[in-house]
C-alpha cells in the first residue's frame, strides 16, 4: 500500500477525528456534526480514490472539513498537471429540517477558502464540520490521462491532505442545456434529484419546470442531465441500453418502473454511480 492510499484510508476509517478532511460522492451529504445525513447513509459508501471523469462534463464531490472550534483553517484544491480542470468550490449552507441539519444551498467560495467555527452569523450549537461542494469541469479537449488532485487543509501549523488520482476517460459527453426543473425537497435522499432526468430517458416523461436557487440538489440534477445526454448519444439501440441500465442496478422491468418511478426498492443512495460507470465505460470503448 503506498503512502497516499494509506493516508486516505486513515482519514476514512473509524470515527471522525478532531480535525479531518474527507471527500465523498455527491450523494453523501454531511451534516454539521461530521455524520452523513441520515437519508443518504449506505452500508458501503464509495471510497473516492481514483474517480473516472468524462470530458465536456462536470464531476462533483462533497468535501467535509472537521475542525476544532476557534481554529481557523484554509482549504486548497490543486492538481498535477495543473490547469487540466476548471475548478469551482462552493460552501454548502445548512438548513434545519425535521430530519436534522442538511447542507443544500451553495455559496461560491474563493480558493483557498477560509473557514472557522463557530460559523457566523448563524452558529449551529456543537457544530464541528463545514461542508463544501467541489465542481470539476473537464474540457472536451482534455488529454486522456491520470491527474493527481489534492484537497488540502492548512489548520494551525499543520496540514491535512486528501489525495486523489482522477482518471480522464476517452468518453466525451454531448453539450446539454441545464433546464430549470422542480427538484425534490431537501429532506429527500440526495439521489432523488437524478430521478427526473433518469425517468425522462427511460420513460420519455417530461419534467415539471420551476426556477430553483443554486443548491447541491440542482447540481446533482445538472450532472444527471449530462449523463442521460451521454446515454442518448451512444447509438440507435437505446431500448437495449435502457434494459442494460435497469439490469445493472437491479430495477427489472422498465414498464413497471415507469408506472411507479419513485419506488427504488432496496437501491442504496449511490446507485446512480453505477449507471454513470456503465455509461462512461461504453462511451470510452474503442469504436468497432
HSE (side-chain half, CA atoms, 13 Å) at 90 = 21
The predicted pLDDT at position 265 comes to 63
The predicted pLDDT at position 15 comes to 40
Surface-to-core class of residue 214, CB atoms within 10 Å of its CB (0-12 exposed, 13-18 middle, 19+ buried): middle
Which grid coordinates are listed for 194?
437524478
The predicted pLDDT at position 266 comes to 78
Which grid coordinates are listed for 279?
455509461
Q: Whole-angstrom Cα distance, residue 219 to residue 135?
A: 9
| Whole-number percent of the chain with pLDDT over 90 | 72
Domains and CATH numbers, the chain: 3-171 (2.60.40.10), 190-284 (no CATH)
Place of cell 436534522: 100
Q: Are 39 and 99 in contact (CB under 8 A)?
A: yes
Helix (H) or strand (E) holding 108, with range, is: strand 100-109
Q: Are 242 and 212 in contact (CB under 8 A)?
A: no
pTM of the complete model: 0.90
Q: Whole-angstrom Cα distance, residue 34 to residue 150?
A: 20
Rounded to the nearest 5°, which phi and psi values hold at 51? -70, 145
Sites in the chain below the pLDDT cut of 50: 1-17
SS3 at position 202: helix
Q: Whole-angstrom Cα distance, residue 194 to residue 261?
A: 11
Amino acid at each position: 500500500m503506498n503512502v497516499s492510499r494509506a493516508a486516505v484510508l486513515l482519514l476514512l476509517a473509524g470515527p471522525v477525528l478532531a480535525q479531518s478532511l474527507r471527500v465523498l460522492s455527491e450523494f453523501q451529504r454531511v451534516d454539521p456534526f461530521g455524520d452523513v445525513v441520515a437519508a443518504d447513509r449506505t452500508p458501503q459508501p464509495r471510497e473516492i480514490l481514483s474517480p473516472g471523469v468524462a470530458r465536456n462534463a462536470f464531476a462533483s464531490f462533497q468535501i467535509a472539513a472537521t475542525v476544532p472550534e476557534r481554529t481557523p483553517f484554509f482549504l486548497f484544491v490543486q492538481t498535477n498537471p495543473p490547469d487540466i480542470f476548471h475548478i469551482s468550490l462552493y460552501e454548502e449552507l445548512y438548513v434545519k429540517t425535521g430530519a436534522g441539519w442538511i447542507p443544500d444551498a451553495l455559496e461560491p467560495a474563493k480558493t483557498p477558502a477560509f473557514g472557522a467555527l463557530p460559523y457566523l452569523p448563524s452558529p449551529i450549537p456543537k457544530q464541528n464540520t463545514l461542508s463544501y461542494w467541489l465542481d470539476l469541469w473537464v474540457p472536451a479537449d482534455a488529454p486522456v490521462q491520470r491527474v493527481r488532485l489534492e484537497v488540502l487543509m492548512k489548520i494551525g501549523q499543520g496540514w491535512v491532505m486528501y489525495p486523489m488520482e482522477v482518471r480522464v476517460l476517452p468518453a466525451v459527453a454531448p453539450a446539454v442545456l441545464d433546464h430549470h426543473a422542480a427538484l425534490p425537497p431537501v429532506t429527500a435522499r440526495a439521489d432523488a434529484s437524478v430521478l427526473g432526468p433518469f425517468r425522462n430517458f427511460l420513460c420519455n416523461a417530461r419534467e415539471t419546470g420551476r426556477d430553483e436557487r443554486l443548491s447541491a440538489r440542482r447540481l446533482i440534477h445538472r450532472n444527471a442531465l449530462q449523463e442521460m445526454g451521454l446515454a442518448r448519444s451512444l447509438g440507435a439501440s437505446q431500448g437495449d441500453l435502457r434494459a442494460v441500465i435497469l439490469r445493472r442496478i437491479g430495477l427489472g422491468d422498465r414498464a413497471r418502473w415507469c408506472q411507479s418511478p419513485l419506488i427504488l426498492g432496496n437501491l442504496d443512495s449511490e446507485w446512480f454511480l453505477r449507471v454513470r460507470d456503465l455509461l462512461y465505460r461504453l462511451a470510452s470503448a474503442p469504436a468497432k
